[in-house]
Amino acid sequence: MTGSFRVDGLISGLDTSDIVSKYMQIERQPIKQLENKKATLNAKSDAWREMNTRLYKLRDSAYDLQSILTFRGKAVKNSNPELLSISAENNALNSSYKIEVGKLAQAQSLASSNISVSSTDEALGLSGTLKITVNGVEKEITVDAEDTLQSLVQKINNTEEISVTASAIQVGTDEFKLTLTSKETGVANQINIEGDLAGTLAFTETQAAQDAELKINGLTVTRSSNIIKDVIQGVTLELKKAGESADITVEMDQQKIVDAVKAFVTAYNSVMDYINQNTSYSYNEQTRKGSTGPLFGDSSLMSIQSQLKSYFSQAVSGVAEEVNQLAMIGIESASGIEGAKSGKIEFNEEKFLEKLDAHFDDIAKLFGAKSDESVNGIFSRMYDYLFNATGVDGFVTGKTNSLTAQIKDIDGRIADFEERLEQKEKYYYTKFSAMEAALAKIQNQANWFTAQLSALYTTK
Protein backbone atom coordinates (compact mmCIF):
# COMPACT_ATOMS: atom_id res chain seq x y z
CA MET A 1 0.00 0.00 0.00
CA THR A 2 2.78 2.42 0.96
CA GLY A 3 6.53 2.60 0.58
CA SER A 4 7.61 5.61 2.57
CA PHE A 5 7.93 3.73 5.87
CA ARG A 6 9.26 0.50 4.43
CA VAL A 7 12.67 -0.66 5.76
CA ASP A 8 14.75 -3.76 5.27
CA GLY A 9 15.99 -5.74 8.26
CA LEU A 10 19.57 -4.49 7.86
CA ILE A 11 20.32 -4.69 11.59
CA SER A 12 17.88 -7.33 12.81
CA GLY A 13 18.17 -9.55 9.74
CA LEU A 14 14.39 -9.89 9.69
CA ASP A 15 12.40 -9.94 6.41
CA THR A 16 10.34 -6.94 7.40
CA SER A 17 8.22 -6.82 4.22
CA ASP A 18 7.26 -10.47 4.56
CA ILE A 19 6.33 -10.08 8.22
CA VAL A 20 4.19 -6.97 7.54
CA SER A 21 2.60 -8.68 4.54
CA LYS A 22 1.52 -11.62 6.70
CA TYR A 23 0.21 -9.28 9.37
CA MET A 24 -1.83 -7.48 6.70
CA GLN A 25 -3.22 -10.75 5.37
CA ILE A 26 -4.66 -11.38 8.79
CA GLU A 27 -5.93 -7.81 9.02
CA ARG A 28 -7.62 -8.16 5.56
CA GLN A 29 -9.80 -11.10 6.59
CA PRO A 30 -12.86 -8.89 7.28
CA ILE A 31 -12.49 -7.35 3.78
CA LYS A 32 -12.34 -10.79 2.21
CA GLN A 33 -15.54 -11.67 4.02
CA LEU A 34 -17.16 -8.47 2.72
CA GLU A 35 -15.93 -9.21 -0.82
CA ASN A 36 -17.37 -12.73 -0.64
CA LYS A 37 -20.66 -11.30 0.55
CA LYS A 38 -20.59 -8.75 -2.26
CA ALA A 39 -19.94 -11.51 -4.83
CA THR A 40 -22.96 -13.40 -3.49
CA LEU A 41 -25.13 -10.28 -3.65
CA ASN A 42 -23.91 -9.53 -7.18
CA ALA A 43 -24.86 -13.05 -8.28
CA LYS A 44 -28.31 -12.60 -6.74
CA SER A 45 -28.70 -9.17 -8.32
CA ASP A 46 -27.73 -10.47 -11.77
CA ALA A 47 -30.12 -13.40 -11.35
CA TRP A 48 -33.03 -11.13 -10.37
CA ARG A 49 -32.33 -8.78 -13.27
CA GLU A 50 -32.41 -11.66 -15.73
CA MET A 51 -35.55 -12.97 -14.04
CA ASN A 52 -37.12 -9.55 -14.44
CA THR A 53 -36.29 -9.60 -18.17
CA ARG A 54 -37.89 -13.03 -18.59
CA LEU A 55 -40.95 -12.01 -16.61
CA TYR A 56 -41.30 -8.97 -18.88
CA LYS A 57 -41.37 -11.26 -21.93
CA LEU A 58 -43.91 -13.50 -20.23
CA ARG A 59 -46.00 -10.44 -19.35
CA ASP A 60 -45.97 -9.30 -22.98
CA SER A 61 -46.99 -12.73 -24.26
CA ALA A 62 -49.81 -12.91 -21.69
CA TYR A 63 -50.95 -9.47 -22.84
CA ASP A 64 -51.18 -10.68 -26.45
CA LEU A 65 -53.34 -13.63 -25.43
CA GLN A 66 -55.79 -11.44 -23.52
CA SER A 67 -55.93 -8.89 -26.36
CA ILE A 68 -59.10 -8.82 -28.45
CA LEU A 69 -56.92 -7.93 -31.46
CA THR A 70 -55.38 -11.40 -31.35
CA PHE A 71 -58.82 -12.95 -31.74
CA ARG A 72 -59.98 -10.49 -34.38
CA GLY A 73 -57.14 -11.23 -36.77
CA LYS A 74 -58.18 -12.22 -40.26
CA ALA A 75 -56.60 -14.63 -42.72
CA VAL A 76 -57.22 -14.62 -46.46
CA LYS A 77 -57.26 -17.49 -48.93
CA ASN A 78 -56.73 -16.50 -52.57
CA SER A 79 -56.98 -19.05 -55.38
CA ASN A 80 -55.31 -16.78 -57.95
CA PRO A 81 -52.63 -14.52 -56.43
CA GLU A 82 -51.38 -13.59 -59.92
CA LEU A 83 -54.74 -11.95 -60.66
CA LEU A 84 -54.97 -9.89 -57.51
CA SER A 85 -53.62 -9.61 -53.98
CA ILE A 86 -55.88 -9.18 -50.98
CA SER A 87 -55.44 -8.14 -47.36
CA ALA A 88 -58.00 -8.02 -44.57
CA GLU A 89 -58.23 -5.80 -41.49
CA ASN A 90 -59.60 -6.94 -38.14
CA ASN A 91 -63.06 -5.54 -38.95
CA ALA A 92 -63.46 -7.65 -42.11
CA LEU A 93 -66.40 -10.05 -42.10
CA ASN A 94 -65.84 -13.77 -42.48
CA SER A 95 -67.14 -14.59 -45.95
CA SER A 96 -66.35 -15.98 -49.41
CA TYR A 97 -66.23 -14.13 -52.72
CA LYS A 98 -65.82 -14.92 -56.41
CA ILE A 99 -64.01 -12.04 -58.07
CA GLU A 100 -63.75 -11.62 -61.85
CA VAL A 101 -61.49 -8.86 -63.15
CA GLY A 102 -62.70 -7.47 -66.50
CA LYS A 103 -60.50 -4.39 -66.87
CA LEU A 104 -57.59 -2.82 -65.06
CA ALA A 105 -57.62 0.89 -64.32
CA GLN A 106 -55.07 2.79 -66.35
CA ALA A 107 -53.81 6.34 -66.60
CA GLN A 108 -54.24 8.44 -69.74
CA SER A 109 -51.14 9.33 -71.75
CA LEU A 110 -50.81 12.06 -74.40
CA ALA A 111 -48.03 12.75 -76.90
CA SER A 112 -47.32 15.96 -78.79
CA SER A 113 -46.68 16.18 -82.51
CA ASN A 114 -43.06 15.74 -83.54
CA ILE A 115 -40.69 18.42 -82.28
CA SER A 116 -37.73 18.90 -84.63
CA VAL A 117 -34.61 19.64 -82.53
CA SER A 118 -31.15 18.10 -82.55
CA SER A 119 -31.22 17.52 -78.79
CA THR A 120 -33.32 18.21 -75.72
CA ASP A 121 -30.94 21.10 -74.91
CA GLU A 122 -31.80 23.04 -78.09
CA ALA A 123 -34.12 26.06 -77.69
CA LEU A 124 -37.64 25.39 -78.98
CA GLY A 125 -38.38 28.98 -79.98
CA LEU A 126 -41.92 28.70 -78.62
CA SER A 127 -43.68 31.33 -76.55
CA GLY A 128 -47.04 31.04 -74.89
CA THR A 129 -48.89 28.99 -72.29
CA LEU A 130 -50.01 25.44 -71.67
CA LYS A 131 -53.06 24.94 -69.45
CA ILE A 132 -53.20 21.41 -68.07
CA THR A 133 -56.39 20.38 -66.30
CA VAL A 134 -56.89 17.06 -64.48
CA ASN A 135 -60.01 16.25 -62.47
CA GLY A 136 -61.00 19.92 -62.27
CA VAL A 137 -57.57 21.18 -61.17
CA GLU A 138 -55.94 23.55 -63.69
CA LYS A 139 -52.24 24.40 -63.83
CA GLU A 140 -50.74 26.93 -66.26
CA ILE A 141 -47.23 26.56 -67.66
CA THR A 142 -45.51 29.61 -69.21
CA VAL A 143 -43.18 28.75 -72.09
CA ASP A 144 -40.45 31.18 -73.26
CA ALA A 145 -38.58 31.20 -76.58
CA GLU A 146 -35.33 30.12 -74.91
CA ASP A 147 -36.96 27.10 -73.26
CA THR A 148 -35.59 23.75 -74.38
CA LEU A 149 -37.48 20.48 -74.37
CA GLN A 150 -35.58 19.53 -71.23
CA SER A 151 -36.42 22.80 -69.43
CA LEU A 152 -40.08 22.50 -70.47
CA VAL A 153 -40.25 18.99 -69.02
CA GLN A 154 -38.71 20.30 -65.80
CA LYS A 155 -41.16 23.24 -65.66
CA ILE A 156 -44.11 20.89 -65.91
CA ASN A 157 -42.79 18.33 -63.41
CA ASN A 158 -41.74 21.03 -60.93
CA THR A 159 -45.13 22.71 -60.95
CA GLU A 160 -46.62 22.33 -57.48
CA GLU A 161 -49.48 19.82 -57.17
CA ILE A 162 -49.67 19.21 -60.92
CA SER A 163 -51.36 15.88 -61.69
CA VAL A 164 -49.28 14.81 -64.68
CA THR A 165 -45.77 13.60 -65.34
CA ALA A 166 -43.94 14.96 -68.39
CA SER A 167 -41.09 13.37 -70.32
CA ALA A 168 -39.25 13.75 -73.63
CA ILE A 169 -39.02 10.75 -75.95
CA GLN A 170 -36.87 10.59 -79.07
CA VAL A 171 -38.86 9.02 -81.92
CA GLY A 172 -36.42 9.54 -84.78
CA THR A 173 -33.34 11.41 -85.95
CA ASP A 174 -33.69 14.95 -84.58
CA GLU A 175 -37.33 14.16 -83.77
CA PHE A 176 -38.80 14.21 -80.25
CA LYS A 177 -42.21 14.11 -78.62
CA LEU A 178 -43.36 15.68 -75.33
CA THR A 179 -45.48 13.16 -73.42
CA LEU A 180 -47.86 13.75 -70.53
CA THR A 181 -49.16 10.95 -68.31
CA SER A 182 -51.75 11.36 -65.58
CA LYS A 183 -50.43 10.54 -62.13
CA GLU A 184 -53.70 8.82 -61.24
CA THR A 185 -55.59 6.10 -63.07
CA GLY A 186 -59.24 6.23 -64.08
CA VAL A 187 -61.56 8.16 -66.37
CA ALA A 188 -61.97 10.95 -63.80
CA ASN A 189 -58.27 11.76 -64.21
CA GLN A 190 -58.24 12.44 -67.97
CA ILE A 191 -55.93 15.22 -69.13
CA ASN A 192 -57.29 18.33 -70.84
CA ILE A 193 -54.85 20.63 -72.72
CA GLU A 194 -55.61 24.26 -73.50
CA GLY A 195 -53.63 27.47 -73.96
CA ASP A 196 -51.67 29.26 -76.68
CA LEU A 197 -49.46 26.27 -77.40
CA ALA A 198 -52.15 23.57 -77.34
CA GLY A 199 -52.64 23.74 -81.07
CA THR A 200 -48.93 24.09 -81.82
CA LEU A 201 -47.98 20.96 -79.87
CA ALA A 202 -51.12 19.12 -81.02
CA PHE A 203 -51.33 16.45 -78.33
CA THR A 204 -52.96 13.14 -79.21
CA GLU A 205 -53.97 10.26 -76.96
CA THR A 206 -51.58 7.31 -76.83
CA GLN A 207 -53.31 5.50 -73.95
CA ALA A 208 -56.89 6.04 -72.89
CA ALA A 209 -57.92 6.63 -69.29
CA GLN A 210 -59.79 3.58 -67.99
CA ASP A 211 -61.57 2.57 -64.81
CA ALA A 212 -61.09 -0.83 -63.24
CA GLU A 213 -64.05 -3.12 -63.79
CA LEU A 214 -64.71 -6.26 -61.81
CA LYS A 215 -67.49 -8.52 -60.66
CA ILE A 216 -67.84 -9.52 -57.02
CA ASN A 217 -70.19 -12.44 -56.59
CA GLY A 218 -71.78 -11.40 -59.92
CA LEU A 219 -72.14 -7.71 -59.01
CA THR A 220 -70.32 -5.36 -61.41
CA VAL A 221 -68.19 -2.69 -59.75
CA THR A 222 -66.06 0.07 -61.31
CA ARG A 223 -63.36 2.07 -59.58
CA SER A 224 -60.76 4.57 -60.79
CA SER A 225 -57.87 2.72 -59.11
CA ASN A 226 -56.54 -0.81 -59.14
CA ILE A 227 -56.23 -0.60 -55.36
CA ILE A 228 -59.77 -0.90 -54.07
CA LYS A 229 -60.58 -0.43 -50.38
CA ASP A 230 -64.25 0.57 -50.36
CA VAL A 231 -66.06 -2.41 -51.85
CA ILE A 232 -65.73 -5.14 -49.19
CA GLN A 233 -65.63 -4.02 -45.55
CA GLY A 234 -62.15 -4.21 -44.10
CA VAL A 235 -60.70 -5.75 -47.30
CA THR A 236 -58.19 -4.20 -49.70
CA LEU A 237 -57.98 -5.57 -53.26
CA GLU A 238 -55.01 -4.87 -55.52
CA LEU A 239 -55.75 -5.83 -59.12
CA LYS A 240 -52.81 -7.11 -61.16
CA LYS A 241 -54.28 -8.28 -64.46
CA ALA A 242 -57.61 -8.76 -66.21
CA GLY A 243 -59.53 -11.57 -67.86
CA GLU A 244 -59.48 -14.12 -65.05
CA SER A 245 -61.27 -14.91 -61.78
CA ALA A 246 -60.36 -15.88 -58.25
CA ASP A 247 -62.08 -17.44 -55.26
CA ILE A 248 -61.45 -15.43 -52.08
CA THR A 249 -62.16 -16.46 -48.50
CA VAL A 250 -61.85 -14.20 -45.45
CA GLU A 251 -61.81 -16.10 -42.20
CA MET A 252 -60.55 -16.01 -38.63
CA ASP A 253 -56.75 -16.04 -38.42
CA GLN A 254 -56.26 -19.13 -36.27
CA GLN A 255 -52.53 -19.13 -36.94
CA LYS A 256 -52.18 -15.73 -35.26
CA ILE A 257 -53.73 -17.17 -32.10
CA VAL A 258 -51.64 -20.35 -32.32
CA ASP A 259 -48.44 -18.31 -32.73
CA ALA A 260 -49.38 -16.19 -29.71
CA VAL A 261 -49.91 -19.34 -27.61
CA LYS A 262 -46.57 -20.77 -28.75
CA ALA A 263 -44.81 -17.52 -27.83
CA PHE A 264 -46.42 -17.68 -24.39
CA VAL A 265 -45.37 -21.30 -23.84
CA THR A 266 -41.78 -20.44 -24.80
CA ALA A 267 -41.72 -17.42 -22.46
CA TYR A 268 -43.33 -19.37 -19.60
CA ASN A 269 -40.90 -22.29 -19.89
CA SER A 270 -37.99 -19.84 -20.03
CA VAL A 271 -39.10 -18.44 -16.67
CA MET A 272 -39.47 -21.91 -15.16
CA ASP A 273 -36.07 -23.01 -16.48
CA TYR A 274 -34.43 -19.98 -14.92
CA ILE A 275 -36.18 -20.48 -11.59
CA ASN A 276 -35.08 -24.12 -11.51
CA GLN A 277 -31.53 -23.15 -12.45
CA ASN A 278 -31.23 -20.52 -9.73
CA THR A 279 -32.87 -22.53 -6.95
CA SER A 280 -31.03 -25.78 -7.64
CA TYR A 281 -29.02 -27.84 -5.14
CA SER A 282 -26.39 -30.39 -6.10
CA TYR A 283 -24.08 -32.60 -4.03
CA ASN A 284 -20.62 -33.72 -5.12
CA GLU A 285 -19.88 -37.20 -3.79
CA GLN A 286 -16.14 -36.83 -4.29
CA THR A 287 -15.75 -33.53 -2.48
CA ARG A 288 -18.70 -34.22 -0.21
CA LYS A 289 -19.80 -30.66 -0.69
CA GLY A 290 -23.07 -29.24 -1.87
CA SER A 291 -23.60 -26.25 -4.17
CA THR A 292 -26.67 -24.09 -4.65
CA GLY A 293 -28.01 -21.67 -7.21
CA PRO A 294 -27.76 -17.91 -6.51
CA LEU A 295 -31.41 -17.71 -5.40
CA PHE A 296 -31.63 -21.00 -3.53
CA GLY A 297 -34.27 -20.73 -0.83
CA ASP A 298 -35.49 -17.31 -1.99
CA SER A 299 -39.11 -17.14 -0.83
CA SER A 300 -40.02 -14.40 -3.33
CA LEU A 301 -38.92 -16.56 -6.24
CA MET A 302 -40.82 -19.53 -4.87
CA SER A 303 -43.89 -17.32 -4.58
CA ILE A 304 -43.61 -16.33 -8.25
CA GLN A 305 -43.29 -19.94 -9.33
CA SER A 306 -46.25 -20.99 -7.20
CA GLN A 307 -48.43 -18.16 -8.47
CA LEU A 308 -47.66 -18.85 -12.12
CA LYS A 309 -48.37 -22.56 -11.72
CA SER A 310 -51.71 -21.80 -10.08
CA TYR A 311 -53.17 -20.32 -13.27
CA PHE A 312 -53.21 -23.74 -14.89
CA SER A 313 -55.56 -25.15 -12.29
CA GLN A 314 -57.90 -22.14 -12.21
CA ALA A 315 -61.32 -22.39 -13.80
CA VAL A 316 -63.03 -19.33 -15.29
CA SER A 317 -66.69 -18.87 -14.47
CA GLY A 318 -68.96 -17.83 -17.30
CA VAL A 319 -67.12 -20.10 -19.73
CA ALA A 320 -68.45 -23.45 -21.00
CA GLU A 321 -67.33 -26.18 -18.60
CA GLU A 322 -65.60 -28.20 -21.30
CA VAL A 323 -63.16 -25.35 -22.00
CA ASN A 324 -63.01 -23.36 -18.76
CA GLN A 325 -59.42 -24.39 -17.90
CA LEU A 326 -56.23 -24.11 -19.95
CA ALA A 327 -55.51 -27.84 -19.70
CA MET A 328 -58.85 -28.56 -21.36
CA ILE A 329 -57.82 -26.77 -24.55
CA GLY A 330 -54.29 -28.15 -24.91
CA ILE A 331 -52.18 -25.79 -22.77
CA GLU A 332 -51.15 -28.18 -20.04
CA SER A 333 -48.41 -29.22 -17.64
CA ALA A 334 -45.42 -31.01 -19.16
CA SER A 335 -45.87 -34.77 -19.17
CA GLY A 336 -43.95 -37.27 -17.07
CA ILE A 337 -42.36 -37.02 -13.65
CA GLU A 338 -39.53 -34.77 -14.82
CA GLY A 339 -41.98 -32.58 -16.68
CA ALA A 340 -44.10 -32.16 -13.59
CA LYS A 341 -41.04 -31.38 -11.43
CA SER A 342 -39.86 -28.74 -13.90
CA GLY A 343 -43.12 -26.79 -13.72
CA LYS A 344 -43.00 -26.34 -17.50
CA ILE A 345 -45.96 -26.58 -19.86
CA GLU A 346 -46.72 -28.11 -23.26
CA PHE A 347 -48.96 -27.07 -26.14
CA ASN A 348 -51.16 -29.59 -27.92
CA GLU A 349 -51.85 -27.63 -31.10
CA GLU A 350 -54.18 -30.21 -32.63
CA LYS A 351 -56.37 -30.30 -29.53
CA PHE A 352 -56.32 -26.50 -29.29
CA LEU A 353 -57.48 -25.99 -32.89
CA GLU A 354 -60.25 -28.53 -32.41
CA LYS A 355 -61.50 -26.69 -29.32
CA LEU A 356 -61.07 -23.30 -31.02
CA ASP A 357 -63.29 -24.35 -33.93
CA ALA A 358 -66.02 -25.53 -31.57
CA HIS A 359 -65.75 -22.91 -28.77
CA PHE A 360 -64.18 -19.78 -30.25
CA ASP A 361 -66.08 -17.24 -28.10
CA ASP A 362 -65.64 -19.28 -24.91
CA ILE A 363 -61.88 -19.60 -25.44
CA ALA A 364 -61.68 -15.86 -26.05
CA LYS A 365 -63.45 -15.41 -22.69
CA LEU A 366 -61.14 -17.96 -21.04
CA PHE A 367 -58.14 -15.95 -22.21
CA GLY A 368 -59.70 -12.61 -21.28
CA ALA A 369 -59.97 -11.40 -24.89
CA LYS A 370 -63.75 -11.09 -24.93
CA SER A 371 -65.39 -7.94 -23.58
CA ASP A 372 -67.35 -9.23 -20.63
CA GLU A 373 -67.07 -7.54 -17.23
CA SER A 374 -68.38 -10.64 -15.48
CA VAL A 375 -65.51 -12.80 -16.77
CA ASN A 376 -61.90 -12.35 -15.68
CA GLY A 377 -59.81 -14.43 -18.09
CA ILE A 378 -56.72 -16.41 -17.16
CA PHE A 379 -54.28 -14.29 -19.13
CA SER A 380 -55.88 -11.08 -17.92
CA ARG A 381 -55.20 -12.28 -14.37
CA MET A 382 -51.65 -13.30 -15.22
CA TYR A 383 -50.92 -10.04 -17.01
CA ASP A 384 -52.15 -7.98 -14.06
CA TYR A 385 -50.02 -10.03 -11.65
CA LEU A 386 -46.90 -9.73 -13.80
CA PHE A 387 -47.49 -6.04 -14.47
CA ASN A 388 -47.62 -5.37 -10.73
CA ALA A 389 -44.60 -7.62 -10.09
CA THR A 390 -42.33 -6.04 -12.70
CA GLY A 391 -43.58 -2.45 -12.46
CA VAL A 392 -41.69 0.46 -10.93
CA ASP A 393 -43.13 -0.30 -7.51
CA GLY A 394 -43.28 -4.08 -7.99
CA PHE A 395 -41.61 -6.54 -5.67
CA VAL A 396 -39.20 -7.73 -8.38
CA THR A 397 -37.98 -4.17 -8.84
CA GLY A 398 -37.88 -3.86 -5.06
CA LYS A 399 -35.67 -6.94 -4.91
CA THR A 400 -33.13 -5.58 -7.37
CA ASN A 401 -33.16 -2.15 -5.71
CA SER A 402 -32.58 -3.71 -2.28
CA LEU A 403 -29.66 -5.79 -3.55
CA THR A 404 -28.15 -2.74 -5.26
CA ALA A 405 -28.36 -0.79 -1.99
CA GLN A 406 -26.69 -3.63 -0.07
CA ILE A 407 -23.87 -3.84 -2.62
CA LYS A 408 -23.36 -0.08 -2.42
CA ASP A 409 -23.21 -0.28 1.37
CA ILE A 410 -20.56 -3.03 1.22
CA ASP A 411 -18.52 -0.99 -1.27
CA GLY A 412 -18.50 1.86 1.24
CA ARG A 413 -17.50 -0.40 4.10
CA ILE A 414 -14.67 -1.91 2.03
CA ALA A 415 -13.41 1.55 1.07
CA ASP A 416 -13.39 2.61 4.75
CA PHE A 417 -11.65 -0.60 5.76
CA GLU A 418 -9.01 -0.19 3.04
CA GLU A 419 -8.24 3.28 4.35
CA ARG A 420 -7.82 1.92 7.90
CA LEU A 421 -5.59 -0.90 6.63
CA GLU A 422 -3.37 1.59 4.87
CA GLN A 423 -2.88 3.39 8.16
CA LYS A 424 -2.31 0.07 9.90
CA GLU A 425 0.40 -0.90 7.42
CA LYS A 426 2.11 2.44 7.94
CA TYR A 427 1.95 1.82 11.68
CA TYR A 428 3.65 -1.60 11.36
CA TYR A 429 6.42 -0.24 9.15
CA THR A 430 6.94 2.68 11.54
CA LYS A 431 7.35 0.26 14.47
CA PHE A 432 9.80 -1.94 12.57
CA SER A 433 11.72 1.13 11.46
CA ALA A 434 11.95 2.30 15.06
CA MET A 435 13.14 -1.16 16.10
CA GLU A 436 15.86 -1.15 13.43
CA ALA A 437 16.92 2.33 14.55
CA ALA A 438 17.09 1.19 18.19
CA LEU A 439 19.09 -1.90 17.22
CA ALA A 440 21.46 0.27 15.18
CA LYS A 441 22.03 2.53 18.20
CA ILE A 442 22.70 -0.46 20.45
CA GLN A 443 25.06 -1.89 17.87
CA ASN A 444 26.95 1.40 17.63
CA GLN A 445 27.23 1.54 21.40
CA ALA A 446 28.48 -2.05 21.51
CA ASN A 447 31.04 -1.30 18.84
CA TRP A 448 32.27 1.75 20.79
CA PHE A 449 32.50 -0.25 24.01
CA THR A 450 34.42 -3.00 22.24
CA ALA A 451 36.80 -0.44 20.77
CA GLN A 452 37.39 1.08 24.25
CA LEU A 453 38.19 -2.32 25.78
CA SER A 454 40.54 -3.10 22.95
CA ALA A 455 42.39 0.19 23.47
CA LEU A 456 42.67 -0.42 27.23
CA TYR A 457 44.33 -3.82 26.78
CA THR A 458 46.66 -2.44 24.11
CA THR A 459 48.09 0.24 26.45
CA LYS A 460 48.94 -2.37 29.08
Q: What is the pLDDT of residues 189-226, one digit of tens each?
A: 999 999 999 999 999 999 999 999 999 999 999 999 99
pLDDT at residue 424, rounded to an integer: 77
Determine the straight-line distance between the first and last CA of the chain, rounded to whole angstroms: 57
Q: In sequence order, what are the residues at sequence separation of 6 or more whose Cβ sits closer than 8 angstroms to the Cβ of residue 202?
A: 112, 113
Residue 119 has pLDDT above 90, yes or no: yes
> Pick from 363, 270, 329: which is nearest to 57 by CA?
270
| Residues above pLDDT 90, as percent of the chain | 61
For residue range 146-171, what is the model confidence (pLDDT) as tens digits?
999 999 999 999 999 999 999 999 99
Element (H, E) at 216: strand 212-216
Element (H, E) at 103: strand 95-103
Contacts made by residues 412-418, CB under 8 angstroms, sequence distance 24+: 413/34, 414/31, 414/34, 414/35, 414/38, 417/30, 417/31, 417/34, 418/31
How large is the average pLDDT for residues 432-452? 75
For residue range 56-85, what is the model confidence (pLDDT) as tens digits?
999 999 999 999 999 999 999 999 999 999
pLDDT band at 3 (very low <50, low <70, confident <90, very high): very low
> Pick from 71, 64, 77, 65: which is nearest to 91 by CA?
71
pLDDT band at 2 (very low <50, low <70, confident <90, very high): very low
pLDDT band at 10 (very low <50, low <70, confident <90, very high): low
Tell which wins on pLDDT, 136 or 18: 136
Q: What share of the chain is helix, strand, coil (3-state, %, to 5)?
A: 45, 25, 30
For residue range 370-429, what is the model confidence (pLDDT) as tens digits?
767 777 899 999 999 999 998 888 788 888 888 888 888 888 887 887 788 788 777 777
Does this model's pTM top 0.75? My answer is no
